[in-house]
A and B are shown apart, each in its own frame.
Chain A
Amino acid sequence: MAKKIFAKLYIALILVVLYAPIVFIAVFSFTEAKSLGNWTGFSFSLYKSLFTGGMQNSSGLISAVNNTLLIALVASAIATVLGTVAAIGIFNMKGRSKQAIQFLNNIPMINPDIITGVSLFLLFVFLHISQGYLTVILAHVTFCTPYVVLNVLPKLHQMNPNIYEAALDLGATPMQALRKVLVPVLRPGMISGFILSFTMSLDDFAVTFFTRGTIGLDTLSTFIYTDARKGGLTPELKPLMTIIFLIILVVLLAMNLKKTKNQNE
């Protein structure tokens, strides 16, 4: 019993520390003061200016949010298609070429962000490609696709290869067999690959930082970095982060409660 209480206390203590900064941001989003940690009475004014655009750097923050979502959506969609097709190919490969492609596929996952960022920066400089949306999206596809491949491959290994052959024997064209047999089997892997890619793209800082060029393209991460280095954070970031956190909290808890419920039934 004492062991159980100690275990619960330990977990609770770590959770308190993990959540302290987030709670801190959330609490101080309900006051007017510009800087974090400065309480000047309860107020919704930061939420109001976030939504009505009455803030100083409003266009910057809003376009940063839009860019983050747009880049994450486009990059993870491309990564999902590219990675799934690649996984089917890799699954059917043999020998050295299979090893080689799997080795290359592992590199972006092992490399720290800064190396991925610097090496791609050098590539774009070398090829004289001007950096902007296109280069950032290409860079995000580079570090996302390996995760899609790794999520789709196990589904191929679990699949009974005879089903696909049976579809062909029964008169399905290869395209129909792909759409009606292969894709449904691979879908869970594709979905988890997409979600993983999307979250990694959203959270990326270093790779974007090195590949965004000098056209003033900002995602949320680079916006926060530049803002913090200039001295003061845009105060509306506090309500924005609070809202993002609440959305994720609700979605994840709902997903998990549903999963537990399904398991219990």
Chain B
Amino acid sequence: MGKRSSWALPYAIFLILFVAVPLLLVVLYSFQDASGRFTFANITKFFTDKDALSTFALSIEVAIENTALCILIGYPAAYILADKQLNRSAVTVVLFILPMWVNALMRTLATAELFTMAGIQLGKGTLLFGMCYDYLPFMIYPIYNTLAKMDRSYAEAAADLGAGPFTVFRKVTLPLSMPGIASGVLMVFMPTVSTFAISEFLTNNKIKLFGTIIQENINNSMWNYGAALSLIMLIIIGLTSFLGKKDEAGVQGGAV
């Protein structure tokens, strides 16, 4: 198709300007003080700030718990949806995605209101429940996709060769659905670490997560510290997606 490769040029420039440069600016601002001089103060401030550190630890903890909860609840649901004997309707799958089209903040506010009406105090429990509620479809959908595309003859072969249903699941179905779980984890874990509005609503501002501190610093014109906190989150995300990719590759290699 001739010189069509040059068609990517406008987008390449766009990506450099709006993706690469902004991320470099996060790094630059992290190592500057308010007057633009080079400093490590923003980074050391984080590592000596007890509140920021405990918020950071809590965010990671909540994100891990939420991701685990989403897998525990979402995997069986995806399994049932993908099984032709148990579910024949494509509409059921649509029903799971549909709530995502209603504004997430509005749904979260309604969830918090339901808790208050039921006399349940807003706190860590409601935070976890509400997060799981918000992110469950993001876990179910990729797992459902891998399971629906999976070649069922592997599982049947294992059963024919004498494996019990549990062994078939553990040795065939689960490993083959790992890529789906991995992308589900990416779609649930990272938004949970960084969320701010949702956690504020679900705990009535009682529990702060990492996203909230970033937001507060940026909005109070503490750009440099806000940038440093963003940089720390970026590093965590880089690590998770790197580990996720490695895991995915390993599983695919193992299954073939």
Contact = CB atoms under 8 A, between A and B. Distances in A.
Co-complex (A, B):
yes
Interface of B: 1-2, 4-12, 14-23, 25-26, 29, 73, 76-77, 80-81, 83, 85-87, 90-92, 94-96, 98-111, 113-114, 116-117, 133, 136-137, 186, 190-191, 193-197, 200-201, 211, 214-215, 218, 223, 226-227, 230, 233-234, 237, 241
Interface stretch (A45-53, A54-62, A69-77, A111-119): A111-119
Nearest to B130: A21
Given A25-B110, A85-B11, A88-B4, A110 B25 contact: no
B8 A89 contact: yes
Which of B2, B15, B234 counts the most chain A CB atoms within 10 A? B15
30 contacts: A7-B80, A15-B96, A19-B99, A21-B111, A25-B106, A25-B107, A25-B110, A37-B113, A85-B7, A86-B7, A93-B5, A93-B8, A101-B15, A112-B190, A112-B233, A114-B195, A118-B226, A119-B26, A122-B227, A141-B14, A145-B14, A203-B104, A206-B196, A241-B103, A244-B102, A245-B101, A253-B94, A256-B94, A257-B91, A259-B90
Contacts of B226: 118
Contacts of A113: 191, 194
A191 interface: no
A113 B136 CA distance: 18
A202 B100 CA distance: 11
Contacts of B195: 114
A3 B83 CA distance: 12
Nearest to A85: B7
A19 B97 CA distance: 11
Contacts of B100: 203
A36 to B, nearest CB: 4
B22 A104 contact: no
Interface string A238-265: 0001001100110011001101100000
A89 B5 contact: yes
B94 A233 contact: no
Contacts, number: 224
A122 B7 contact: no
Closest 5 CB pairs of A and B: A89-B8, A89-B7, A86-B11, A119-B22, A112-B194
A27 B19 CA distance: 43
Interface of A: 3-4, 7-8, 10-11, 14-15, 17-22, 24-25, 36-37, 82-83, 85-86, 88-94, 101, 104-105, 107-108, 110-115, 118-123, 125-126, 138-139, 141-142, 145, 149, 161, 164, 174, 199, 202-203, 205-206, 209-210, 220-221, 224-225, 228-229, 233, 237, 241, 244-245, 248-249, 252-253, 256-257, 259-260
A135 B186 CA distance: 28
Given A21-B107, A123-B25, A252-B98, 6 more contacts: A18-B99, A82-B10, A114-B195, A142-B14, A205-B104, A245-B102
A37 B117 contact: yes
A24 B234 CA distance: 37
B211 A114 contact: yes
B4 A253 contact: no
